[in-house]
Amino acid sequence: MHCLKGIYIKKRETEKEDGQEYFPVKMVISQKKARVFYFKDKKQQNAWFKGLCKAAGCANVLDFYDFLSELASGNQGVVYKAKNKKSGMKVAIKAIKKKDMTEDQVALQRMEIEAMKMCQNENIMKLLDLFEDDRYFYLVLELLNGGDLFDYLEKRNFHISEGRAKELFKQISSAVAYIHQFGIVHRDLKIENIIMSDNSE
């Protein structure tokens, strides 16, 4: 028996043994554990693949979103601008590669995602949707068009009014106070990690 929560299912290329063709379906349970099931024809393979995907609640990010352009890339992954196929709403999708992560790092990433799900505050970027396969986490986020606070300040030669500084500091402090209520510590608070909703005054 297998618990299907958090399992990824994919079809594999046809394999031959003793003149017999087999049609495999692979279930990826963790980075180090997988099971492969072999079927004698493509019809069986398709039926089991469809049934296992339904039971595991599999969903592909490309079924719901069109990727439009790359917005940024860094150590953690790549951020894309995308559009919801049904509503037309523009979003940001952060694709985080799991390949180079240890199992502990994957667990920490899951904890961070759970923290983001809890955070419903006007000064914290909203996590709108989440997809995961055996290679990536896809975090669907609110699209903010103002760049980061470093760029915002740089465009103004690092001179803003005291009133504006006070307003920005209040928003940041409010977000930090909010996450502290849940026992969450940010640990990487810097102006490059503060995203602006727009670039206006």
Domain ranges of the chain: 8-56, 59-143, 148-201
**CATH no., domain 59-143:** 3.30.200.20
Q: Which tens digits make up the pLDDT trace of 54-110?
A: 888 778 899 899 999 999 888 778 999 999 999 999 999 999 998 788 888 888 888
pLDDT above 90 for 135: no
Per-chain mean pLDDT for the chain:
90
Longest dimension (CA), the chain: 79
37 vs 29: CA distance, rounded Å: 13
Q: Which tens digits make up the pLDDT trace of 176-187?
A: 999 999 999 998
Burial of 163 (0-12, 13-18, 19+ CB in 10 A): exposed
Which member of 18, 63, 100, 188 is catalytic?
188
Q: Indicate if 151 belongs to the active site.
A: no
Q: What letters, b where the CB count within 10 A reaches 16 and e where it falls short, cover 77-113?
A: bbbbbbeeeeeeeebbbbbbebeeeeeeebeebeeee
- Whole-model pTM? 0.75
pLDDT: is 8 or 174 the higher one?
174
Task: Provide the pLDDT for residue 31.
Answer: 66
Q: What is the mean pLDDT of residues 45-51?
A: 91
